[in-house]
Every structure is written in C-alpha cells, then in structure tokens.
Amino acid sequence: MHKDVETILISQKKLENIVKSLAKQIEKDYNSKEFIMVGLLKGSIVFMAELMTKIDIDFEIDFMVASSYGGGTESSGKVKILKDLSVSPVGKDILIIEDIVDSGNTLNFVKNHLITAGAASVKVCTLCDKPSRRKVPLEPDYCGAEIPDEFIVGYGLDYDEKYRNLPYIGVLKRSVYS
C-alpha cells in the first residue's frame, strides 16, 4: 500500500467486479443503440479503459476536459469546459464517464452543456458517488459505489495530480492535504 494511503476502500478485485457489472447493465440498456462514450479527463481514464473493453456492442468514444477544482480537495463551484467534444453531439446519445460525483457541479454543468448543444440523450456513469456532499441535483444513471465523505485516490483519481496509478481506491491520509 502507498505510504500516503490510510486504508483501501475498494480493492482491485472489487473494482473488477464493479466494472464488469456496470458494463453488462450498459450493454443491456443501449442494446444495439449506437452511442458515444464520453470520458471526462483525466480522472475517468482508468475506469473508462477497463469499462469499454467489457461492453460487447458498438459505440464511439470521445473525451472532454472540465475543471472545477484548483489543486485542493474542494470544488470551486465554477465549471469551465477546457476541451469540448471533437464530434458534433447533435442528435447523439451520450454516456458520460466520470470518476466521482461530489458536489455535482461538474456533471450538472457538462450535462446541460451537451443537452443545450443538441444531444438526443445524456446519461451519466460514475465509478464513485459521494451523495452526502451534493450541492446541486445530479442523479447518476449508473454508479459503481457510494462512498462516505472521505477524499479518495487511485484508479485514475488524484490529489494534486498524484496517485492516479494506484490499482485500488484508497482513502488519502489527512496529513497529506491539511
């Protein structure tokens, strides 16, 4: 275990099972309906890479970059789109892939942005959710795990751009950020 990690919250084995089960749900719901899987960089990369190989229907992928955090552990509330889709969303069914929903600000903003831009439907698949921290209404359509109000890292999730490479999800020691 990494020296800055307090405890392992979701093990590698559990992550594997979570991802498999989400993939099967998505496969069943979209059936043969073509969709675009849109990863929010950078936190979603590990989750999305694992998830996409387990979905056995055709779909396109794309990426967006939205930012609401500085270097800290709290959302600033002001969301900016730093990189938009590289294809037109008009008339497309979009599935956003996110690492974690916290205040809901990021996904609320990105979802509205895509709907306004003309997407036919926009759904959200998140690996983790901290429902107790919600500031704006946002209900993920697919959620891997609800977690308590702790700052977590690993499997794509960072603190100050570190720990994304950990193969598990762990709670970051408070001494690292306070």
Pick between residue 50 and residue 102 the one whose CB is nearest to ligand IMP: 102
99 is catalytic: no
Q: Judged by CB, which is closer to Mg ion: 43, or 89?
A: 43
Query: Per-residue string for binding with Mg ion, 22-61, x by CB under 5 A?
Result: ---------------------x------------------
Q: Which of 4, 29, 84, 102 is catalytic?
A: 102
Residues at the site binding ligand IMP, with contacts judged by CB under 6 A: 43, 68-69, 75, 98-106, 151-153, 157
Q: What is the C-alpha separation between 42 and 66, in angstroms, rounded?
A: 9
* Nearest-angstrom CA–CA distance, 82 and 177: 26
Q: Which is nearer to ligand IMP, 27 or 145 (CB)?
A: 145
- State the catalytic residues: 102
